[in-house]
C-alpha cells in the first residue's frame, strides 16, 4: 500500500486526510494487518476492508468533535474506554489531536499493539493504559470527553461514567442505531451524526448530564 493508494481509497469514500496524516495512517493499517495474522485483533484481512468498515468511523468522529455544539475545552481530557486495537482512537488521534487522550484497554495484547504503534509514531498527548476502566477512572481525575463503542450497554455505561465526567463533560457513543433517552433520563442529547460504513448505518451521539 502506498500513500497514493490510501488517498485514492479515501477519496472513493468521500473522505480526505491531510497529507501529513497519510504516512502514520498507512503504517497503522499495515501494522494492524501484520499483527492480525497471528492474533485476532479485527475481523478483516485487507487494508481496504479495515478502512471501509473500521477506520471510516474515525474520520466522521474527528469532524463530529470539531463542531461547536459540543463546546469542548481547547485542551480536553479524553478517555477512550475499551480501546481494543486502537479503533477508533488511533486513527482519530492522527486526525484530531486536541488535549490529552487515554486509550484504556484491559487486554494486554491489544494494549501492547497500541503501544508498539505509538512507539514508532508518537501522537500528541496520546497514551495507553493497560487495565480495567474501574481502576483507571478514580486515579485519572475527571474527563471532559469519554468515548465508547460497545464497551457496555449504553444505559449501564452512563451510570458507570457519570461520577467521572466534569460538570460540562460529554460522552460520545458510537452506535449502529441511535438510542432513545427515556423522559426520566438525567442526560441530554447534545448532537448527533448519522452516516454509513460499508452500506451499514452508524450513528454518533453526544450526551451531557442535565444541569443540577
Q: What is the CATH number of the domain that holds 154?
A: 3.40.50.150
Instruction: State residue 39 phi and psi, 5-degree precision.
Output: -145, 155
Residue 94 falls within a domain, yes or no? yes
Domains identified in the chain, total number = 1
Residue 54 falls within a domain, yes or no? no
Range of lowest pLDDT (23-37, 79-93, 149-163): 149-163
Residue 55 falls within a domain, yes or no? no
Strands (E), the chain: 77-81, 100-105, 126-130, 143-148, 165-175, 187-197, 200-209
- Residue 211: its pLDDT value, please? 65
The C-alpha atoms of residue 105 and residue 194 are separated, in whole angstroms, by 26
The C-alpha atoms of residue 27 and residue 144 are separated, in whole angstroms, by 30
Residue 21 falls within a domain, yes or no? no
Residue 9 falls within a domain, yes or no? no
Per-residue model confidence as pLDDT tens digits over 93-127: 999 999 999 999 999 999 999 999 999 999 999 99
The C-alpha atoms of residue 207 and residue 145 are separated, in whole angstroms, by 10
Q: Find, among 202, 8, 207, 1, the residue nearest to 88 by Cα.
A: 202
Residue 6 falls within a domain, yes or no? no
Grid coordinates given for 104: 484504556
* Other Cβ atoms within 10 Å of 211 Cβ, number: 7
Residue 23 falls within a domain, yes or no? no
3-class secondary structure, 116: helix
> In the structure, what pLDDT confidence band is assigned to residue 27 with cuts at 50, 70 and 90?
very high
Residue 49 falls within a domain, yes or no? no
The two beta strands, 100-105 and 126-130, are parallel
Q: Report cis status (omega within 30 of 0) of the bond before 88.
A: yes
Task: Find the mean pLDDT for residues 19-28.
Answer: 97
Which residue range(s) make up the domain with 84?
Answer: 63-209
| Whole-model pTM over 0.75 | yes
Percent of the chain with pLDDT over 90: 84
Amino acid at each position: 500500500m502506498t500513500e497514493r493508494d490510501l488517498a485514492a481509497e479515501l477519496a472513493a469514500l468521500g473522505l480526505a486526510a491531510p497529507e501529513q496524516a497519510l504516512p502514520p495512517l498507512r503504517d497503522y493499517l499495515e501494522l494492524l494487518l501484520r499483527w492480525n495474522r497471528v492474533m485476532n485483533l479485527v475481523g478483516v484481512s485487507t487494508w481496504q476492508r479495515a478502512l471501509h468498515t473500521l477506520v471510516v468511523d474515525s474520520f466522521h468522529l474527528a469532524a463530529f468533535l470539531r463542531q461547536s455544539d459540543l463546546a469542548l475545552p481547547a485542551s480536553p481530557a479524553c478517555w477512550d474506554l475499551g480501546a481494543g486495537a486502537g479503533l477508533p482512537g488511533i486513527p482519530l488521534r492522527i486526525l484530531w489531536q486536541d488535549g490529552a487522550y487515554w486509550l484504556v484497554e484491559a487486554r494486554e495484547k491489544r494494549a501492547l499493539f497500541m503501544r508498539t504503534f505509538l512507539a514508532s509514531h508518537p501522537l500528541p498527548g496520546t497514551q495507553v493504559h493497560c487495565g480495567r476502566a474501574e481502576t483507571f477512572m478514580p486515579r485519572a481525575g475527571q474527563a471532559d470527553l469519554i468515548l465508547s463503542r460497545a464497551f457496555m450497554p449504553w444505559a449501564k455505561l452512563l451510570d458507570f461514567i457519570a461520577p467521572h465526567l466534569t460538570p460540562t463533560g460529554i460522552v460520545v457513543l458510537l452506535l449502529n442505531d441511535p438510542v432513545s433517552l427515556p423522559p426520566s433520563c438525567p442526560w441530554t442529547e447534545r448532537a448527533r451524526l448519522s452516516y454509513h460504513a460499508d452500506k451499514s448505518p452508524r450513528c454518533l451521539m453526544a450526551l451531557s448530564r442535565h444541569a443540577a
